[in-house]
Amino acid sequence: MVDPADALQDTATGRAERAQLERDWIISSADCGRQAREALTKAAEVLAGTIPGRRPDADLAQAWAEIGQGWAALSHADAVPSVAAAAFTVDQSGVNTYPNP
């Protein structure tokens, strides 16, 4: 298993190792994003659910929404290392990411 800190700091780290780390982070981010969408869908279903004579359970919907927000935060947290790794790779390869004026 590749240590992310070593892979990002060690210029001798192979591209394959950095690429694998980026793929892992992207996959994890996507999975967390899926979990967030599912939780928010459940929140919407709770609010849309109609039982004659009863109001929708706003507390349950809010709980699902908060779970969705948590998953979304994890998705973002997993994406950040991937962006950092990509920026590090660009920096190490000497590619100019700033357009010339």
pLDDT value of residue 60: 94
pLDDT tens, N- to C-terminus, the chain (101 residues):
556 556 555 555 566 777 787 888 888 889 999 999 999 999 999 999 877 888 889 999 999 999 999 999 989 888 887 777 666 665 555 555 455 55
Q: What's the pTM? A: 0.66
Amino acid letter, residue 60: L
Beta bridge partners of 51: 54
Beta bridge partners of 15: none
- Coil/strand/helix, residue 9: helix
Element (H, E) at 67: helix 58-93
